[in-house]
């Protein structure tokens, strides 16, 4: 057991070459690799834990009325060489209310029309608007608003939510995962289509030209439903390629540890508020193991170093899935599956006496708020604001343990910071797609102090 734990720690710490990582091979690696493999086989160690099995989802929209999947399903047929079937399918679904221009484009591809889209930006027939985080750099940071959310599959009738977000004129929009619903990590053409489709929508374009947009991913952007990438950097091989495509389509300040340690974690600051965006998929281990990790040791070290930075009025930890317990009953896909690591994060906050921390999260197709008791003596309650139904039709039920919740219509979270107040405040408001404020909660900085 001692050998098992020591080997695992050294692999994660980078002191032993990762056997999953592509390398030219050294005498050390040739000696250690058989030993590492033997330890894993004999002990059942999660040392060489694999990514989850892919459950690629390009199902027909008849299954659950998933209009966002009409064009992806047709595109998949084309990529598989089933062009006659794709043509028949597109013609049969042409009245479903999805973008007719995209239908024509895919028909041209299936019919092998000269000049049809070639799966790249150059031949994409519509103007794309990409995020630009340099916007609003000179806006004062003592009183400001941000918007956040997730669950943004392409549903034509709900794309107007981007107009609703734009109308509140936030200092930034934080997208916390399930931003485009790809569910096909091995197929770059599918990934590009989903990004380009969103970037071509006029509602999105007006928003992206005005508001800085920051993004992390969740399962449907990175892998498939409820999936995890495993602890290795290069395995499965599709991980790095998905990361590269993600980087092409978002404008974050940096991406994890860069080429040496791919990921989509990063931090940035507005005034005296630090936003800490974490990656809960690339290095996530199976939640079925003993004390699994969602972040991996490198990201955890980064998180601790980031939280130790010069104190700000508020620190906002942004997670792709909720930290609050029992928000997805019966599932280990949220932080409930990684309870040990979650508690270590809370304990770190307590040990370092870091005040003013709140949480933003996504994944559940609703908007709600939670007040979390960490169980740590002297630790203030942690407030979590969660929202993940920007455009999605599918909805999740409300949770009794929430302070409040909303799932009747598409919605997002509005968060207002007032740092000029004598006792600075952060206020969370659920706003629905029609611009109506539903529920609101204001938290004072003095409530987020240690005893």
Tens-digit pLDDT profile for residues 139-164: 999 999 999 999 999 999 999 999 99
Indicate if the pLDDT at residue 17 is higher than 70.
Answer: no
Percent with pLDDT over 90 in the chain? 84
The reported pLDDT for the residue numbered 45 is 45
How far apart, in whole angstroms, are the C-alpha atoms of residue 434 and residue 41? 56
Supply 299's token pair.
Answer: 């990201």
Q: Encode pLDDT of 377-404 as tens digits.
A: 999 999 999 999 999 999 999 999 999 9
Which domains does the chain show, CATH number per domain? 2-48 (no CATH), 67-110 (no CATH), 143-448 (3.60.21.70)
How far apart, in whole angstroms, are the C-alpha atoms of residue 333 and residue 225? 10
Percent with pLDDT over 70 in the chain? 88
- Nearest Cα neighbor of 171 from 414, 384, 412, 361 is 414
The reported pLDDT for the residue numbered 76 is 96
The reported pLDDT for the residue numbered 68 is 85
- The single-letter DSSP state of residue 389 is B
Mean pLDDT throughout 210-233?
98
- Nearest Cα neighbor of 267 from 234, 219, 310 is 310
CA distances from 297 to 175, 292, 307, 443 (A): 24, 11, 15, 32
Indicate the helix (H) or strand (E) that contains 174.
Answer: strand 172-175
Supply 175's token pair.
Answer: 């997208």
Mean pLDDT throughout 415-436?
98
How far apart, in whole angstroms, are the C-alpha atoms of residue 214 and residue 278? 12
The reported pLDDT for the residue numbered 98 is 87
- The single-letter DSSP state of residue 146 is E
Q: Encode pLDDT of 311-322 as tens digits.
A: 899 999 999 999
Contact 406, 430 (CB under 8 A): yes
Supply 74's token pair.
Answer: 């047709």
The reported pLDDT for the residue numbered 298 is 98
Indicate if the pLDDT at residue 44 is higher than 90.
Answer: no
CA distances from 19 to 12, 89, 121 (A): 11, 45, 36
Mean pLDDT throughout 296-308?
98
Residue with more model confidence, 138 or 37: 138
Contact 299, 236 (CB under 8 A): no
The reported pLDDT for the residue numbered 26 is 38
Q: Encode pLDDT of 21-31 as tens digits.
A: 333 333 443 34
The reported pLDDT for the residue numbered 67 is 80
- Average per-residue pLDDT for the chain: 90
The reported pLDDT for the residue numbered 96 is 83
Residue 384, phi then psi, degrees to nearest 5: -120, 130
The reported pLDDT for the residue numbered 19 is 32
Residue 414, phi then psi, degrees to nearest 5: -110, 130
Predicted confidence band at 4 (pLDDT cuts at 50, 70, 90)? very low
Indicate the helix (H) or strand (E) that contains 429.
Answer: strand 425-432
Cis peptide bond N-terminal to 236, omega within 30: yes
> Rg of the Cα trace of the chain?
22
Q: Encode pLDDT of 163-182 as tens digits.
A: 999 999 999 999 999 999 99
Q: Say how many C-beta atoms besides its own lie within 10 A of residue 439's C-beta.
A: 17
Supply 157's token pair.
Answer: 């009738």
């Amino acid at each position: 057991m001692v050998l098992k734990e020591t080997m695992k720690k050294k692999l994660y710490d980078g002191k032993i070459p990762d056997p999953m990582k592509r390398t030219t091979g050294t005498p050390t690696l040739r000696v250690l690799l058989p030993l590492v493999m033997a330890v894993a086989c004999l002990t059942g160690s999660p040392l060489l834990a694999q990514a989850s099995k892919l459950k690629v989802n390009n199902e027909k929209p008849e299954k659950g009325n998933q209009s966002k999947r009409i064009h992806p399903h047709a595109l998949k047929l084309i990529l598989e060489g089933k062009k006659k079937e794709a043509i028949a399918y597109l013609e049969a679904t042409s009245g479903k209310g999805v973008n007719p221009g995209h239908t024509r484009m895919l028909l041209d591809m299936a019919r092998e029309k000269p000049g049809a889209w070639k799966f790249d930006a150059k031949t994409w027939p519509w103007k794309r608007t990409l995020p630009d985080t340099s916007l609003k750099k000179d806006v004062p940071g003592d009183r400001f608003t941000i918007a956040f959310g997730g669950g943004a599959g392409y549903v034509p009738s709900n794309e107007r939510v981007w107009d609703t977000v734009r109308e509140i004129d936030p200092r930034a929009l934080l997208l916390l995962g399930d931003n485009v619903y790809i569910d096909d990590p091995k197929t770059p053409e599918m990934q590009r289509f989903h990004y380009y489709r969103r970037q071509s929508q006029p509602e999105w374009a007006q928003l992206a030209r005005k508001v800085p947009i920051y993004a992390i991913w969740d399962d449907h952007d990175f892998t498939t439903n409820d999936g995890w990438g495993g602890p290795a950097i290069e395995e499965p091989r599709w991980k790095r390629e998905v990361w590269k495509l993600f980087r092409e389509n978002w404008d974050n300040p940096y991406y994890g540890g860069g080429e040496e340690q791919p990921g989509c974690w990063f931090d940035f600051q507005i005034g005296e508020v630090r936003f800490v965006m974490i990656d809960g998929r690339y290095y996530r281990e199976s939640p079925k193991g003993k004390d699994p990790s969602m972040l991996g040791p490198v990201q955890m070290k980064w998180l601790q170093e980031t939280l130790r930075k010069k104190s700000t009025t508020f620190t906002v930890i942004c997670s792709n899935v909720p930290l609050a317990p029992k928000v997805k009953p019966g599932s280990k896909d949220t932080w409930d599956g990684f309870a040990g690591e979650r508690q270590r994060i809370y304990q770190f906050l307590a040990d370092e006496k870091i005040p003013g921390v709140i949480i933003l999260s996504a994944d559940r197709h609703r908007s709600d708020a939670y007040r979390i008791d960490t169980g740590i003596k002297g630790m203030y309650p942690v407030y979590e604001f969660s929202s993940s139904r920007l455009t999605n039709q599918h909805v999740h039920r409300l949770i009794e343990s929430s302070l409040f919740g909303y799932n009747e219509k598409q919605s997002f979270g509005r968060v207002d910071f007032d740092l000029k107040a004598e006792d600075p405040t952060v206020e969370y408001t659920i706003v629905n797609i029609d611009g109506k404020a539903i529920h609101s909660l204001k938290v004072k900085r003095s409530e987020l102090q240690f005893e």
